[in-house]
Amino acid sequence: MRSYGLCLAIVLSMAEVALGQFPFQQVPAPPPPGPLMYVRFAGPKGAKITVYRGFDQGQTLELPCTLGFRPGYSYRLAVFDIPGLPRHVFCPSLEVRGTLALSGKTRNADFPAQINFNEEELGRAVLGSFIKKVVTLERPDQAIPVASKPDQPLEIPVQATRDPFVEAAERGAPLIVYHLGQRFLTPQELNALAIPGTVLLPGERVLGTPRLPPYLFWNWYPVFDPVHGPRPASEFNTVYDGGDSGAPAGFNRFGKLKGLDPTDTIAEYTDSRGNQKHAASNRVGVCVPRFVIIKAEYNLARQSMRTHLGAALTATSPSASVGQASAKEQSAQQHPESIGTKLRLSGTFNTLGTSAMGRVQGLEIKSILHGVGSVDVIANGPKQTEPADGPLMIIKWPDKTFANVGEVVTFYLKYSNTGGQPITSVVVSDSLAARFEYVKGSTKTDRDALFTTQLNEAGSTLLRWEFGAALQPREHGLITFQVRVR
C-alpha cells in the first residue's frame, strides 16, 4: 500500500510539472457576427417560398420578398406553387460567404442581391440538371459595359470544365453560392438544418445571437498581403471618376492630348503667351455596388456498362458550354514643362559724410574745416509689370454619394481662370467609367460650346466641350450632365 501511494504521489507531481511547463492553449473565439447580407427573391406570379429558422414550423412568403442572412452559414429554402410546375417543391441551398462593407451613412438593406426563380431553369432541374450560380460583387475597374437592372442582374455562363467560383473570384468578391437540383427534403429535415438567429424576415428589426458560430471559415477569415494589408472595401463598392488616373496625360509633338483614359476629366487651354497646357480635375467616388451572377449548368452523365470475364465498355456523354472574355489596351505620352524667373534692381541710395584735417607746428595752430554736404539719390519705383498667367482650375462633384443600379446621377464641372491674363481655346473632356451611361440631351453649359461624344476604351462615352470665347481673368464656367448607373 505504501508503494502504491508513493507511485500515485510521483505521478501527480509529474502531472503538475507537465501542466506548469505546457499551459493549456485556449481556442480563439470566433469573430462577432458581421453585417447581414440581404437577398431579394423573385419568381413567377403566385410562387411562394418557405424559410425555416430552427424553432418554428417555417414562414411562408409570397415572391418577391427580401430576406437578411448572416454570412458564414448555409441555408435551405423551399420554393413551390410554380405555375408551370404546380406539383413540384424545390429545395435550393444558399451558402452566404460574405457581405457588403458599407459606410455608416448607407445600409446593406438598400443594396440587396437578386436571385430569380424562372420556370425554364426549374424545369431543367426536374429533368436532372444541376445548376450552380455564384453571386459576386463586381469590381468597378473590371465592369462589363452592359446596362443592367436591380431585378435583372447580369448572368455570365461559363464552361462546364471551369468552376464558376473561380470565375467569380477573378471578377470581384464572391458572396453567395446558389445550388439548385432535383433533391427534395421534408419540412422536418429543412427545419433541422436551420440555425436560429441567422435569418431576418421582412418587417423584423432585431435578430438574435446565432446558436452556432459561422462555419464557412475560408471566406470568413480572408487571406491578405502582409505588406499591403487587406483590400479596402471601397475597391468593390465605389465607382471613381474624374482626375488623371493611369498614365499621366500630356501633349505629343503635334499638340494633341494623349493619355485620356476612362474615368479621366481633363481641361485643355492656351495661355496669353501661346503655351498649350492642360489641367486635371479632382477625383470623386459614388457608391454603386453591382452584383453579377456567374452561372454553370451540369447534366447527369449517362453511363452504360457491360461486364463479363474479360471486357468492359463505358461511354460518357460530353457537356457543352459557352464563355467570353474581353481585352483592353491603353497608351499615354507625357510632355514636360519649363519655368523661368527674372530679377531686376529697384534703386540706389548714396550718403557723403564730414572730413576734417589739422596740423600743429610749434606754437602756431592752423586748422581747416570743410563744410558738411550731402547728396541724395532717389531712384524711380519698380516698373509696373503685367499680371501673370495663372493655371486653369477644374472642380468636379456629383449630386449624390451613393446610388443603385438604374438610378441617374448628375455631375457638375466648374472651371475657373485663376490668373491675371485671359486664356483661350478651352476644351473640357470627360471620359466616363464603364458603369456610367451618358443620358442623351442632359448636358447644359452657361457659355456657348461645341459638344461632341464618342465611344471610349471602356465601352462608355467620351464627352467633349469646346469653348470659342476667351475666359477672362477670375471668370469661371459651369457644365452639368447626367449619367445612368449600369
DSSP assignment string, 23-48 = PPPPPPPPPPP-PPEEEEEE-STT-E
Where b means 16+ CB within 10 Å and e means fewer, 153-180 reads: bbebbbeeeeebbebbeebbbbbbbbbb
- Which residues are CB-contacts of 26 (< 8 A; sequence separation ≥ 6)? none
Confidence at residue 43, expressed as pLDDT on a 0 to 100 scale = 94
- Which residues are CB-contacts of 39 (< 8 A; sequence separation ≥ 6)? 66, 67, 69, 94, 112, 113, 114, 115, 176
Question: Structure pTM?
Answer: 0.74
217, containing H or E segment:
helix 217-220
**C-alpha triplet 337, 243, 174: angle, nearest 5°:** 140
Q: What is the pLDDT along the chain (486 residues), one digit of tens a residue?
A: 445 454 444 444 444 444 444 455 565 565 566 789 999 999 999 999 999 998 888 899 999 999 999 999 999 999 999 998 988 999 999 999 989 988 767 889 999 999 999 999 999 999 989 999 999 999 998 898 998 888 899 999 998 788 899 999 999 999 999 999 988 999 999 999 999 999 999 999 889 889 888 888 655 455 667 787 777 777 888 999 999 988 899 999 888 999 999 999 999 999 999 999 999 999 999 999 999 999 999 886 555 455 454 444 443 444 433 333 333 444 444 444 444 444 454 554 444 444 444 444 554 545 555 555 564 656 566 666 778 888 999 999 999 999 999 999 999 999 999 999 999 999 999 999 999 999 999 999 999 999 999 999 999 999 999 999 999 999 999 999 999 999
Residue type, 297: E
Confidence at residue 182, expressed as pLDDT on a 0 to 100 scale = 87
> Residue for cell digits 459606410?
103
Contact in structure between 4 and 24 (CB atoms under 8 Å): no
Looking at domain 236-288+389-485, what is its CATH homologous superfamily?
Answer: Mu homology domain, subdomain B (2.60.40.1170)
C-alpha distances in angstroms, 247 versus 328, 392, 421?
Answer: 15, 21, 30
Specify the domain boundaries for CATH 2.60.40.1170 within the chain.
236-288+389-485
Confidence at residue 9, expressed as pLDDT on a 0 to 100 scale = 47
> Residue for cell digits 441551398?
93
**C-alpha triplet 439, 267, 141: angle, nearest 5°:** 55
Confidence at residue 162, expressed as pLDDT on a 0 to 100 scale = 86
194 exposure class (CB count in 10 Å sphere: 0-12, 13-18, 19+): buried
Confidence at residue 377, expressed as pLDDT on a 0 to 100 scale = 54
CB neighbours of residue 23 within 10 Å: 7
